[in-house]
Amino acid sequence: MAGTGKRTAVLFDFGGVLTTSVVAAFEDLGRELGDEPRLLLRLFAKDAASGALLVAHEEGRIGQREFEDGLVTRLRAHGVDPGDGPGLVGRLQARLGPDPDTLALVARLRADGHRVGLLSNSLGDDCYAGFDLPALFDAVTVSRDIGVRKPSRRAYAIACERLGADPGETVMVDDLEQNITAAARLGIAGVVHRDAATTSAELAALMGGLGHK
């Protein structure tokens, strides 16, 4: 948890917050592809070409098919043959499901009168299928639509602007600590999400309590 002072608005990440764990999904797919749970996560973190593909896709500069084909090339360069590129993102998304407890927390915050927004790095052309984002949030900010991704300061600034909230009155809920650290540079308080109950308690501490509507 980072930041001080009473907060009145909340930005939520999507994958790993409104859904089940993205890290677990990547690990499960890594086992399937190469019997190595950290395979994909390691490539994105350590292989410059793989990391550049991810950034380009999340920022909307390449589509899902180009991302998948490029990732297949990088996997093969590292001795893993995943088969055809098309379908890799779908295989990852099939391992994710909605987190009803966190979705209920979002609804509760809005019912209590708090401004609630989404700030998400997108992965895949249809990664939000099944989620009515405009109905869930007061404002939606997706990396591919704005051309920048977390942890860019610009991404947080745009999300706050769309939400109509000053960074100093906003909390970011994200499953990745580095994204919380980046948000703090703008004065946004942060909660590293692990589960809905813990996140709710930390939000209550930052926001002077939550109602029970």
Phi then psi for residue 101, to 5 deg, are -70, -40
Identify the residue with better confidence: 49 or 83.
Answer: 49
Enumerate domains of the chain plus CATH numbers.
9-20+97-207 (3.40.50.1000), 22-93 (no CATH)
pLDDT in tens, 121-154: 999 999 999 999 999 999 999 999 999 999 999 9
Quote the distance between the C-alpha of residue 205 and its chain's center.
Answer: 23
- What's the pTM? 0.93
CA–CA dist 22, 31 (Å, integer): 14
State the pLDDT at residue 84: 67
DSSP state of 191: E
pLDDT in tens, 6-26: 899 999 999 999 999 999 999
Identify how many contiguous H helices and E strands the chain contains and give both numbers: 11, 5
